[in-house]
Amino acid sequence: MKKKSREWGIDYSNFNKLRYLREVDSTNDELFRLLDEEESPPQIVIGGIQTEGKGRRGRFWFSEQGGLWISLVIPGGLCERNITALNITCGLSCAKACDSFISEMGFREFNITVKWPNDIMLENKKLGGLLIEVKSSEIKDRKIVLGLGINVNQVRFNKVISDIATSLRLMFKRRFSVCNLANYIIKEMDSMIEMIRNGKIDYLFGEWKDYSYELGRSVEISTVESVKKQGKVIGIGDSGELILVNSKGDIDRIYNGYDLKIT
Ligand code: BTN
């Protein structure tokens, strides 16, 4: 069956073509397919709904009508540091874009922050998340797709996530333009790519403290080895790792962790 889609030319340094599909399995999967199949593929795919939206750690990502489901190509050789570092800068740029979007509309009563590594938080609930996928280990033909999901106009959520998720509409009691938000995000991602390319990743890392959800707070986090670590968050390191100091004064560096909770 032919998918219903539309395409637009856009004018950014790293993005010149955007394709919109009313329904798609996953915008990340679709973008990888287009990169393989088409001679001149778009660098951005947006879906109206996703039937098989993917979250981190193999989780299902609920993606009904009303949210922003977007995937962008990140240049393969961009980041000499590891993927955790890219996760940090992408999460930060996304939080900045959402924050500018709502504050330029005059809404300043709630904070948008980023919970390590890259959950987008609105006060204490999850507004969105990012999934970076990489294909090919060879840097020269490495393909990186950044998928981003933001809850914009949904008013209810599946019961699996209803206690932890929120949307802009639920918080601000009005509808928002998904298209305008997409513009803010694309612009911020474009400028992030340019900054990394120009050797300014440390400047971006410096901004993390202004948007961090957990800096200075006591947290518990699960590591990939399924060990729970507790401590107070004192910063991030050069690779984007989260730095904790525990009650004995020992420092822990978490490179790969999940389910961070404030304790
Ligand atoms: C997370 O678990 O927090 C990451 C969620 C990422 C969801 C986005 S929606 C657009 C893109 N397509 C997908 O299938 N997933 C990402």
Which residue CA neighbors atom 7 of ligand 1 most closely?
Answer: 149
Pocket test for ligand 1, best of 60, 61, 133 (most atoms within 8 A of CB): 61
Eight-class DSSP state of 163: T
**45-85 pLDDT, tens per residue?**
999 999 999 999 999 999 999 999 999 999 887 876 678 88
Ligand 1 contacts CB of residue 117 (under 6 A): no
Predicted model pTM: 0.94
Shortest CA distance to 10 belongs to which of 257, 216, 187? Answer: 187
Ligand 1 contacts CB of residue 42 (under 6 A): no
> What number is the average pLDDT over the span 142-153?
96
- For residue 16, the one-letter residue type is N
- For residue 43, the one-letter residue type is Q
Ligand 1 contacts CB of residue 118 (under 6 A): no
State the Cα–Cα distance between residues 182 and 70, nearest whole angstrom.
8
pLDDT value of residue 108: 84
224 touches 191 (CB < 8 A): no
Which residue CA neighbors atom 9 of ligand 1 most closely?
Answer: 149
**168-208 pLDDT, tens per residue?**
999 999 999 999 999 999 999 999 999 999 988 999 999 99
pLDDT at 140 over 70: no
CA of 56 to the centre of ligand 1 (A): 7
pLDDT value of residue 137: 63
CA of 250 to the centre of ligand 1 (A): 34
Query: In this structure, what are the phi and psi dihedrals at residue 232, rounded to the nearest 5 degrees?
Result: -95, 135
Ligand 1 atom nearest the C-alpha of 52 is: 14
Eight-class DSSP state of 145: E
